[in-house]
Each structure stands twice: as C-alpha cells, then as structure tokens.
Structure 1
Amino acid sequence: MSLSPREIAAVVLAGGEGRRIGGSKPQRMLAGRNLLERAAGQASAFSDLTAVAVRDLAQTEAPDGLTLIEDAPWEGPLGGLAAALAFARSRRRAAALTLPCDMPLVPADLASRLAAAPGEHGATLAASGGRLHPVCGLWRVEALDALSAYAGGGQRSLKGFAATVGFATVEWPAEPVDPFFNVNTAEDLARAETLLA
C-alpha cells in the first residue's frame, strides 16, 4: 500500500460482547490496565488519529483523548470495520488500520509492515503461523463503497469481505509467542498476564 502514518487512522474494534469471558471484555484488567486502554495505547503508537469502535456509545466510556465511534448495525467485526472506514474517510485519511481490543501482544511494526506491502489492494491483512487475522488489517477507505452491498447480501465475514475488495497478507512468526494471541477466556487472560511479565 505504501502509506505513511499521516495517511492512516487507527481504530480499535471493541464492539464484541465477550460472552466466553463473562461479558465486558474491554474492561478486563491486564497488567494494571484494562484491555481497552491497552489497545488504545497500541493504536496511538500507530497513528496520530485514533478512535474506538463500540456497539453502544451510551454504554462505553472512552479512554482519555480517544474518540468513540459507533459500529454500523451489522453483527460481528464487520460493523466495526464500517465505522472505522467511515471515520477515516471523514478525516481525509487514505486507510483505516483496525486492531481488536483483545490482542494485547500486537507487534509494534504492525502498521509499518502492513503499509509497506506492495501492490494496490483493498486491504492488507496480518497473518501468523499460516493463520489470517482479518481484524488486524489496513483497509483503504474505498473499501467502504463495497461494504453495504456485501453486508446487504447477509454476509458478515471480514475474510470474505477482504476477498471481495482484494487483499495481500503480511506474515509474522508465531513462535515463540504468537503476536496475535487473543484473549477470549479467563484462562487466556491469565496466560497473557504471564506472557507480558
């Protein structure tokens, strides 16, 4: 994509309910900060323009200095992606970098490596150990134009939408620790605490 940080808006996807961890996943504490605050810190390292996409604006308190935006009315992370792309476009950015609130080990070179991927694709997605992580992606704002038709067909998969707009992948090693390890359960949270220590 060859984009500079000034052309990117970084948006934390925090609209999931977190049922497997007992709800309120963004507020779960990890190494002295909640998952949302931790992800917001990651986002601000990637761009000077950041936001948090949430399911319900009235039910969420934004970390200091961050803008809250509301997911589009589609279930899953597709609603957050729509909000991220609309936010980036409204601020005249060329692309939105999305990252979820539940991946506390996201690599520091996420944005730079995705932005440097060659080719003109609608999205560039992170991968590790041969697994694609479409919630960690750099999406050109033009992808927003294809989103309504895609979602209108009842589709909700980020991977499927990436295929619709065309995508490249950037691979990270999954050993010794997968940087895209995500927290879904109380056990995952305990493991993340150990890994961060």
Structure 2
Amino acid sequence: MKQPLGVILAGGLATRMGGGDKALLEVGGESLLRRIVARLEPQVEAIALNANGDPARFDALGLPVVADSIAGFAGPLAGVLAGLDWAAEQGAESIVTVAGDTPFFPCDLVPRLLLAAEGAAHPLALAATPRSGAEVLKSGGGKRVNRHPTFGLWPVALRDDLRAALQDGLRKVIVWTDGHGAGEALFPAEPFDPFFNVNTPEDLAHAETLVRAGAA
C-alpha cells in the first residue's frame, strides 16, 4: 500500500473561540497549524489543508487548500470527503486526517492507524484512547475507549459512498465508520491526552502550559 496523504481538518466555525481560524492561534510562539504540519509531515507523502473561505490566509504555509464540496458546514465528514477527492486527483489510495486544533497528536499516528486497518476490506481506522473508570461508569459501563473521529485513516475507494451518505444527511462520523468495519488504533492517554484540542481560551492557556513545561 502506498504511503497515505495527510489532510488537516480546519473547516470548523470555532464558535467557542469567538470565530476565526483556531489553527492560526499561537502556542509557544508558533501557530497550532505550523505545529501540526511539523508533526504530520514526516508521516505522510504530502499534506493538504481542508478549510473554507478565502484560501489566501494560509498562503504562508505553501499547502494546497481544499474546501468542502458539501454546503452548510456539514462537519468533519465533509472535510474528509474534500481530502479524499484531492487525494484521488493525486492518484493516492488513502488519506490520514488530523484536526487543526490538536497540536500534540502522536508522532506515530499514521503507522499505528495503518496497523489497525490491516486485514480489513478497506484501509479504514480511527484513533482511540482508553476511557477513565469514571467515564465508563457515567456511561453505564459502555464502550471502554474514546474514539477520536477527526483522526483517521480513510480509503479513497469509499469516497463516493461517503459522498452519497453526506448528501443523504449523515453527519456522525462514527455511524459511517462503524458501518464499514473501521479498526481502532489505541493510544495511551498519559501523561496527558495526545488528542487534547483547543476549543476555548482556557484550552489555549493549557496548551501553552504544556509547551512551557516541555511536556509536549
């Protein structure tokens, strides 16, 4: 199998940060987006950015910018589809997506997603972390992992299936991935959750603390 392409999902509305591009916020004197590119680049063949609106605001990064083809901010799956369409133009077989507000994701994300998808009909897998005992109890003893649906391995071969699902109104990532037997790549959540994302000003301050402490 060819090395996947990488797609950074940055097409959200960032309502809890007051709007704008969360990915351009800075932590430790560097934007979230540059930190994400640096972490993803060694793991993939090439990178594109999924974002809507004027792509010129990302010119400094020198990355191709692909917009959602499904109107109305249809969520992460619309960004995945945009990435798959871009990858198909490149002749790629798969993509790995990462969120544009999660600067500390694992440096071995891609190989472990590929391993989780081995033997499946399609190279499809999501990242996951163990749930705490309190989380399991709160959910009534349900699933013992937290899946991170913006961090996944996606096959180009299923892009038309995904397009049809989105056009039919599907928005929940897990519903679609479960329907195709997605694997799970389990990552440790200690000493901190590597999929911690910056949603609020408080989260941004916490990210700054992690960087200054050398923890991330």
TM-score if structure 2 supplies the norm length? 0.84
Deviation readout 1:50-97 (Å, 9 max, x if unpaired): 100002244632343311111222411111101111111111111010
Query: 1:54·1:69 contact (CA, 8 Å) conserved in 2?
Result: yes
Query: 1:12·1:99 contact (CA, 8 Å) conserved in 2?
Result: yes
Moved over 6 A (4+): none
Q: Quick check: 103-112 or 156-165, which moved more?
A: 156-165
Question: What is the alpha-carbon distance in structure 2 between the residues aligned to residue 50 and residue 21 of structure 1?
Answer: 25
Aligned pairs for 1:117-156 within 5 A: 117=116, 118-122=118-122, 123-129=124-130, 130-156=145-171
Aligned pairs for 1:14-29 within 5 A: 14-24=10-20, 25-29=22-26
Question: What is the alpha-carbon distance in structure 2 between the residues aligned to residue 58 and residue 87 of structure 1?
Answer: 15
Show the counterpart of 2:194: 179
Show the counterpart of 2:97: 98
Matched, 1:65 2:62: yes
Q: Quick check: 8-17 or 19-28, which moved more?
A: 19-28
Question: What is the alpha-carbon distance in structure 1 between the residues aligned to residue 186 and residue 81 of structure 2?
Answer: 25
Show the counterpart of 2:42: 45
Alignment gaps of 5+ in structure 1: none
Q: Which amino acid aligns with 1:133?
A: H
Show the counterpart of 1:163: 178
Alignment gaps of 5+ in structure 2: 131-144
Deviation readout 1:141-166 (Å, 9 max, x if unpaired): 11202012211221111111212332
Identity score, percent: 36
Query: 1:40·1:63 contact (CA, 8 Å) conserved in 2?
Result: no
**Aligned-pair distance for 1:13?**
0.3
Deviation readout 1:163-183 (Å, 9 max, x if unpaired): 233200010111221111111
Q: Quick check: 152-161 or 10-19, which moved more?
A: 152-161
Q: Quick check: 117-126 or 183-192, which moved more?
A: 117-126
**Aligned-pair distance for 1:35?**
1.5
Aligned with 2:11: secondary structure?
A: coil
- C-alpha distance 121-134 of structure 1, shift in aligned 2 (>3 A): farther
Show the counterpart of 1:9: 5
Show the counterpart of 1:76: 75
**Aligned-pair distance for 1:140?**
0.9
Q: Quick check: 127-136 or 73-82, which moved more?
A: 73-82
Q: What is the root-mean-square deviation of aligned Cα atoms in Å?
A: 1.6
Query: 1:57·1:68 contact (CA, 8 Å) conserved in 2?
Result: no
Larger radius of gyration: 2
Question: What is the alpha-carbon distance in structure 2 between the residues aligned to residue 64 and residue 43 of structure 1?
Answer: 14
